[in-house]
A and B are shown apart, each in its own frame.
Chain A
Amino acid sequence: MENNKEFIRNVDWLLQNDEFIKWRLFNSKELEDYWKEFIEDKPYMENALEEAILQFNKIKINYYQISDIEKKQIFSNISNKIKQFKLRRLILKVSYTAAVILIGFISIFIVREYNHTEKQKNQISSNMIVGQSLPEEEAYILSDGIKFKLKDKSHVGLINNGTAIITNSDNSTKMLALSTVAMNRLVVPYGKRANLTLSDGTVIWLNSGTQLDFPSEFVDNTREIFVNGEVFIEVKKDLNMPFIVHAGDINVTVTGTSFNLSAYLDDNMKSVVLVNGKVQVETKNNYKTDLLPNEKIEINNNSIKKEIVEISEYISWKDGLLELYSTPMSEILKKIGRYYNVQFEKSELITLNNETFTGKLFLSNSLDSVMTSISTLSSTEYLRDGNNIYIIKKEMPMK
């Protein structure tokens, strides 16, 4: 007990001692010797001295800290400015050269130079992908020329006489009278999702950036819908009433099954992946083929490719997951971009875009947390500056 008191008193005495303070602050040879001698002289002070040093280490001079967020913000400002400067330099270069050339040659020249500089620009930033988050849009149903706005992740259920029940993610509901004569349109912009139960019980999940035309009730001998975008469909079995999905150049005919269809108008690549049952896919030039479960057909302009795939990679989006099996970065970012309404640089010259990754991404409500997962998965660094997003490749330190 007494010893303990003694110890504390000694520590406190040391902390207040001018020589001790100077030694800890400035660490000169002279003072070093002084305290070495001190301990040789008074060995019983050794523990107290150690403790005092430990406590003194907690004392900081001009400890002005900058937060991590501020640090990142400054860095992304730097990256932004650098990009702007580079671009300006290139433009200056182009316009300077163009000015020297005779007017008649200008157009040809600029095209050439542009191609050249485009390559150069990408070369400089080949370790970095830049994305831009775009302004938010709302999902809506268009019926009889009237727009009904929908909240994100709403469910639209069709019951009799063209009545639709809209259920929001917070379980609140609303009734809507849809046209019974003309087709209705459900528009889900990038960054939003929705799902729909048709009057026959068929369920359709609409991924971001998808437009679906559907009747409020199926009256003829067929069930037909029109899709631009990506949908996962569970078709209610009805052998007498085939279900036909029209998606641009391709038609998918089924009786009862579930499959994923990706057919964005602005994407050359269209694909159908069958989960179970049987579907028939017909392309523009009357090429018809049947798909079996786990098969994917990929239609890219005029080339058609069929292969067995890991289905979950193609359908997990409906459950808010993205499963990746050696998926190229460009493909991942395309999907993420649609899901969160962000546009990423697509150039193949960015080496990072060609790298492939395997893993599972949880598509939460926050883009930040998804991007953080991607950067962990791909050993990249992720920075966000307002609407701008930067993915920077981490280079392994050599040797």
Chain B
Amino acid sequence: MTSLNQNWKNFLEKGDEFSFSIIYNKYVEELYAYGISLGFQKENCKDAIQDVFIKIFLDRNNISKIENKSGYIFRSYKNRLIDLEKKNNNKDNIDSVEDKFTIEVTILDNLIETEIANIVKEKIKKLLESITPNQREVVYLKYVVGLQHSEIAEILGIHEESARKLLYRAMEKLRNKISNDELYLIAIYFMLLRFII
């Protein structure tokens, strides 16, 4: 973490190009996956990443005034994606962007038995599809990307308190997704287990 901060410092103060490349490498994967998750085309995501980093480099005097750099990068990236989409479609059907946040579950290796894997996959999908796309995005940014509330707020252009609330409501919904039957089944499972042993 300190080294990333050090790199920001080297880049912003001295225009150090190697530090800039480290910063780029730190974000490129997260930005790409986030863009695809929002439903944008691969090529658009790559173009938007490019544009955002060119801007960061050329505008570094202003960037140094920004406290919340991750938030800023994600937000300018998202804005850029929307702009590119508008340009390509010549229309502003952009309201739908927010409604597009999709969830795809991937299982690396085949450590988990296929049958079980499919069940788990389905469960995770169902679970995350039970909340709104907007909430999904917040949950993704928080738990998959690992961003702070303040950063998420910056990306969505809302107050930190609102971001916290939004996330809280999403989590509340997810928590209640456990049906009481499930708890009931857990009890039965262990009762039966006792018998078998």
| A residues lining the B interface (CB < 8 Å) | 12-13, 15-19, 21-22, 25-28, 30, 42, 54-56, 58-66, 70-71, 74-75, 77-79, 81-82, 85, 124-125, 127-128, 381, 392-395, 397-398
Given A27-B143, A64-B37: A21 in contact with B120 (beta carbons within 8 A):
yes
* B112 nearest CB neighbor, chain A only: A55
**Is B94 close to A, CB under 8 A?**
no
Q: Which residues of A are found within 8 Å of B15, using beta-carbon distances?
A: 124
The answer to whether A63 touches B124, judged by C-beta atoms less than 8 angstroms apart, is: no
Q: Are A127 and B16 in contact (CB under 8 A)?
A: yes
Contact: A62 with B50, CB < 8 Å? Answer: no
Is B144 close to A, CB under 8 A?
A: yes
Question: Across the interface, do A71 and B25 meet the contact criterion of CB distance under 8 Å?
Answer: yes
In the complex with contacts A62-B103, A70-B46, A397-B3, A392-B182 CB distance below 8 A:
no
Show 16 residue pairs from A and B whose CB-CB distance is below 8 angstroms, ordered by the A residue. Answer: A12-B113, A12-B116, A22-B178, A25-B127, A42-B190, A55-B111, A59-B107, A60-B105, A62-B36, A64-B36, A66-B29, A78-B50, A78-B57, A85-B58, A395-B10, A395-B16
Q: A64-B37, A395-B10 are in contact. Are A75 and B21 (CB under 8 A)?
A: yes
Which listed segment binds A: B84-92, B148-156, B169-177?
B169-177
Pairwise interchain contact B54-A78, C-beta atoms closer than 8 A? yes
Q: Name B122's closest neighbour in chain A (CB-CB).
A: A16
Q: Given the known A-B contacts A18-B127, A74-B50, are A61 and B103 also in contact in the complex, defined by CB atoms under 8 Å?
A: yes
- Name which residue of chain B comes closest to A13, CB basis: B189
The answer to whether A128 touches B57 (Cβ under 8 A) is no
Name the one of B36, B128, B178 contacting A19, with C-beta atoms under 8 angstroms. Answer: B178
B: residues with CB less than 8 A from A are: 3, 6-7, 10, 15-19, 21, 24-25, 28-29, 32-33, 36-37, 46, 49-50, 53-54, 57-58, 102-109, 111-113, 116, 119-121, 123-124, 127-128, 139-140, 143-144, 171, 174-175, 177-178, 182, 186, 189-190
- CB proximity of A59 to chain B, nearest CB, Å: 5
Tell me the minimal C-beta distance from A84 to chain B in angstroms.
Answer: 10
Contacting residues, chain A, for B113 (C-beta < 8 A): 12
**Separation in Å of the B11 CB from the closest CB of chain A?**
10
Q: Measured between C-beta atoms, what is the minimum distance from A13 to chain B in Å?
A: 7
Does B50 lie within 8 Å of A81, measured CB to CB? yes
Shortest CB distance A353–B (Å)? 15
**Is there an interface contact between B120 and A16, defined as CB atoms closer than 8 Å?**
yes
* Closest chain B CB from A399 CB (angstroms): 8
Interchain CB contact under 8 A, B108 and A22 = no
Residues of chain A within 8 A (CB-CB) of B33 are 62-66
How many angstroms between the C-alpha atoms of A85 and B53 in the bound complex?
13
| Given A82-B57, A127-B16; A22-B116 close (CB under 8 Å) | no
Residues of chain A with a CB closer than 8 A to B111's CB: 54-55, 58
In contact, B18 and A127 (Cβ under 8 angstroms) = yes
Distance in angstroms between the alpha carbons of A381 and B174 in the assembled complex: 46
